[in-house]
Amino acid sequence: MKLTKRKYMLLAILLLALIAAGAVYIVSAAGSQGETTAEQPLEADSEELPSAGFSMTDPVQPGARIAVVSKSVKGEFWKLVKKGMKDAVTDANEAYGFSGDDRISMTFEGPDSELNVENQINTLDAIVAENPSVICLCAGDMDSCQAQLEAARENGIPVVAFDSNLSDTSLVSCYCGTDNLAAGRLAGEKMAEAVGEIGKIAVFSLQGKTKALAERVQGFSEVLDQYPGLSIVSEICSDEVEDITQVMEEVLLIPGLAGVYCTNADIMDIYLKASKPERFSAVVIGTDATTNQQKAITGGEELGCVSQDPYMMGYETMTMAISLTAEEQTDAPEDLLLEACWIDAGNIDDPVNERYIY
């Protein structure tokens, strides 16, 4: 088996941790539904395992404190992100033999809603004042955290962006998240194929100022622009209107509406609850295979969704953060873009896709 440098680094730390524990397994960074368990090991030669990772020779800081400020702490997606992060911390402590005060620790904070940007900024303010070793940030608004991140830089606190990056990427050391442009393009390709390359399309998004969502819309639009018969007749962000449900229901009344694209799970949930016109037949494509969307896909209400790997995103984000705790820094980890996966009724039960099913 040929191992890439990234795979080698991840396997080195995990295998050494298990050897120290007295048992050798081939360990998974993504088990059933994106979770790692001792009972569900990963096949080490899987080509699906990306890793920013860190090697056993990296001089990580004992007792490092890593503060995570998420866009939200509620929902199936964020629970898997958090689990991936916690597992990475556990694996690092075992690999380096850290115990007691030397153990690396993490906190995971943020608002209950992705729309509550003000709450997230207040949380970030408090976190910077606590002077953690590293901050991991998923910004709800790509332009809203400059002052806090400048303060972090002045205090020598590295910042890892995850899931959704910032406009000014010079304020962060590195980024880990889905390739959102590619995810949007994938949704666009599936839409064009499903509607026959002709028709009116509506796009619903949760936030206009979240970079990840903006990139998905951009990628989706780039594909539709290649088809003269396809046009986006309405693009609505819930943070830009007073009543997203009312506006959405009005859009769904557009004569000849052929397709609907929802850029994340929260906006898809709103769509699923919204009233539809009689004999509504538009093709619907969502994002993230949550429980609600799985039901919609298997029930025929949704064609399919472009789904992410939140567990791996969390795990890789935390390995980046741990590598940045070294007192003497050289180069920051490279940005890591994870591939999204198309989920529909034909492959939703395929075990190879279970990382993408929440």
What range does the domain containing 241 cover? 180-307
> Would you place residue 267 in the very low, low, confident or very high pLDDT band (cuts 50, 70, 90)?
very high
Residue with tokens 């903006």: 214
340 domain-assigned: no
Angle at 152 between CA 146 and CA 155, to 5 degrees: 145
pLDDT digits (tens, 9 = 90+) for 211-261: 999 999 999 999 999 999 999 999 999 989 999 999 999 999 999 999 999
69 domain-assigned: no
Structure tokens at 237: 């962000």
Among residues of the chain, what percentage have pLDDT more than 70?
Answer: 83
> Would you place residue 332 in the very low, low, confident or very high pLDDT band (cuts 50, 70, 90)?
confident
CATH of residue 300: 3.40.50.2300
pLDDT digits (tens, 9 = 90+) for 250-261: 999 999 999 999
Which strands make up the sheet holding 199-205, listed edge to edge? 230-237, 199-205, 257-262, 283-287, 304-307, 341-344
199 domain-assigned: yes
316 domain-assigned: no
293 domain-assigned: yes
324 domain-assigned: no
In this prediction the pTM is: 0.84
pLDDT digits (tens, 9 = 90+) for 133-172: 999 999 999 998 999 999 999 999 999 999 999 999 999 9
Q: For the chain, what is the domain count? A: 1
Q: Share the mean pLDDT of the chain.
A: 86
188 domain-assigned: yes
Residue 233 β-bridge partners? none
247 domain-assigned: yes
Q: Which residues contact 73 (CB under 8 A, 6 or more apart)?
A: 82, 108, 109, 110, 111, 112
Tell me how far the alpha carbon of residue 105 is from its chain's centroid: 22
What are the b/e assignments for 218-238, b being 16+ CB within 10 Å?
ebbbebbeebeebebebbbbb
Amino acid at 132: P
Q: Does the pLDDT at position 313 exceed 50?
A: yes
Predicted pLDDT at 102: 97
pLDDT digits (tens, 9 = 90+) for 49-97: 344 454 556 689 999 999 999 999 999 999 999 999 999 999 999 999 9
